[in-house]
Amino acid sequence: MRFAAALPFRHPLVGACACTVTLLLSSACAREDEAASTPPDTSVISSEGAAAPLAASPTTSPPPTPPSSATPLPPDLALIGTSAGSGSAGAFFTLGSDEQRYVRLGRRAAPGWTLTRVAPQEVALTEASGAERILRLPESDEGAEAPRDASGSDARAEEDAEVAVQRLVTTMRLGIEPATTASGRRAYRFTSDPPPSLAAAGLRRGDILVTYDAESFDRSEDVSDLAHQLGSRDRLGLVVERGGRTLKLTASH
């Protein structure tokens, strides 16, 4: 729309500028028409004066996939008891038809699986990939009442077994010292006669006990674990170094 055509008067002082007013109004109208026909700019002006595109709306990433285990957990591995005794927390397992086995917290419960948590009714096993499995104690049948021993002989038997384990722990700690095998592996050397359960397996004074049940024997906590294993296992494999030679022994009771 042009306002230049709608000026019907001429003032004596404005007459000389009428032409200029007409041109200014025509130019302003032209700019308005151009702005109306131009689509709006959706860019954002940055602090430097350059136009920056609007940021895209954030997208929600899918939740991370839990790690999958590379080593399958043996299907016949069963939890039969938990322990939080004076030594360290652990659990009792059976694997197939094998005898019960005591596993201390932080030790291998099955090939590729480590015992990482112990609770009164369940334990957690963790695989190297980070996968975790929960094993729970079997629930008793509803309505079935467990047999009671009024004399408390079962409780006394458990206490006696724990006392025997602690005595064995004390005996071994007094009779061992840190040592290094010929291959540079840390272990413990028996500086006195081994306890009867180990002596019966063939262990002698001066021998270096390297592993028991395929577990390293190189930390002070391993003494307590070994004592529990000797008290709960029918057979326990030992690897010993004697005079630079490696021997495989078996402790049994």
What number is the average pLDDT over the span 6-27? 44
Average pLDDT of the chain is 75
Looking at the predicted structure, is the pLDDT value of residue 61 above 70? no
Give percent above pLDDT 70 in the chain.
Answer: 62
DSSP secondary structure letters along 159-188: HHHHHHHHHHHHHHHHTEEEEE-TTS-EEE
How far from the centroid of its chain's Cα atoms is residue 115's Cα? 11
Q: What is the pLDDT of residues 135-145, one digit of tens each?
A: 999 876 544 44
Q: Which of the two residues, 66 and 77, has the higher pLDDT score?
A: 77
pLDDT at residue 40, rounded to an integer: 54
Looking at the predicted structure, is the pLDDT value of residue 28 above 50? no
Are 181 and 173 in contact, with CB atoms under 8 Å apart? no
What number is the average pLDDT over the span 20-43? 48
Q: Give CA–CA dist 90/162, Å, rounded.
A: 14
What's the pLDDT band for 65 if we cut at 50, 70, 90?
A: low
Global pTM? 0.53
Q: Torsions phi, psi of 165, nearest 5?
A: -65, -45
What's the pLDDT band for 20 if we cut at 50, 70, 90?
A: very low
What number is the average pLDDT over the span 68-93? 78
Query: Euclidean distance between the first and final Cα of the chain, in Å?
Result: 111
pLDDT at residue 97, rounded to an integer: 66
What number is the average pLDDT over the span 20-27? 41
What number is the average pLDDT over the span 103-111? 84
Collapsed DSSP state (helix, strand, coil) of residue 118: strand
CA proximity to 112, closest of 90, 129, 89: 129
Q: Give CA–CA dist 203/210, Å, rounded.
A: 12
173, 174, 179, 182: CA torsion to nearest 10:
-90
Half-sphere exposure of 44 (CA within 13 A, CB side): 7
Q: What is the pLDDT of residues 199-249, one digit of tens each?
A: 999 999 999 999 998 889 998 888 888 888 888 778 889 999 999 999 999
CA proximity to 129, closest of 49, 65, 85: 65
Q: Give CA–CA dist 253/187, Å, rounded.
A: 24
What number is the average pLDDT over the span 63-69? 59
H or E segment at 205? none
Q: What is the pLDDT of residues 156-199, one digit of tens each?
A: 766 777 788 888 888 899 999 999 999 999 999 999 999 999 99
Looking at the predicted structure, is the pLDDT value of residue 16 above 60? no
Q: What is the pLDDT of residues 195-210, one digit of tens each?
A: 999 999 999 999 999 9
CA proximity to 209, closest of 175, 232, 241, 184: 241
